[in-house]
Structure 1
């Protein structure tokens, strides 16, 4: 059996952060850290080297999840995905993130989305279709299509 996927959660609302952390751990993932603002998140990305960073778009002390996604992309080798109720405010390229999971979401939607993202990270291209409630960056979908050729 493979090691659980290592995930960093970036969310500025403490109760939501705890709920997401609990859902991830119950689903068998390893939460390597949590952050409530961009500076904290970027420091933890460097420190913990997660496979996946789940990011709320609007963060504490008026920082932005977009800044975290750009930092993750610059580091390389780590996947960033937004979890936000403001998914429509993102550009078509998802501001550098791989995916966006629309809030509010159920435990089932989160689990399906994480399974898909785990395939993106560990076994690309994913065999399954993009789950409901999730949007994938067009560039990533294009690269998956090319992999299948």
Structure 2
């Protein structure tokens, strides 16, 4: 088995957070931290050094996952993806994130999305098609087309 992804989960609903953690660990990945607010997440990024940050859109204390996506983008070298029931509220450019996985999602959708994101992190460009239940930022996909050319 390949090295597990190091994942930071940003989710303010405790039960959903526990479910996501369990699903990630069962899929063989390592949850390096969790946060319920944008401020907590942004502070944890340099401390935990994740490869992937999974972000809910609406967070505790009224903060926004978009702020987390911007921080990840500004740091560089880390992949961010939204996991939200509000997928339509995310602009087409995804605010610097790579993708959005719509909630609720099944183990199958999460597994396929994680496999795709792992390829994005470890050996871009991804070889597989974008999985069902996931939307990818068009400009991000275009950057891979340029790599292939």
Q: Which residue in the other structure is 1:4 paired with?
A: 4
Secondary structure at 1:92's aligned position in 2? coil
TM-fit CA distance, 1:51: 0.1
Q: Which residue in the other structure is 1:105 paired with?
A: 105
Q: Deviations over 1:15-46 (max 9, x none)?
A: 00000000000000000001111011111111
Matched residues in 2 for 1:89 and 1:14: separation?
22
Q: Which residue in the other structure is 2:62 paired with?
A: 62
TM-fit CA distance, 1:2: 3.2
Q: Which residue in the other structure is 1:48 paired with?
A: 48
Q: Which residue in the other structure is 2:130 paired with?
A: 130
Matched residues in 2 for 1:2 and 1:87: separation?
30
TM-fit CA distance, 1:129: 0.2
Aligned positions, number: 149
Q: Which runs of 5+ in 1 are unaligned?
A: none
Q: Deviations over 1:117-147 (max 9, x none)?
A: 0101111111100000101111111011222
Q: Which runs of 5+ in 2 are unaligned?
A: none
Secondary structure at 1:73's aligned position in 2? helix
Q: Which residue in the other structure is 1:116 paired with?
A: 116
TM-score normalised to the size of structure 1? 0.97
TM-score normalised to the size of structure 2? 0.97
Secondary structure at 2:117's aligned position in 1? helix
Q: Which residue in the other structure is 1:17 paired with?
A: 17
Matched, 1:72 2:95: no
Matched residues in 1 for 2:95 and 2:143: separation?
17
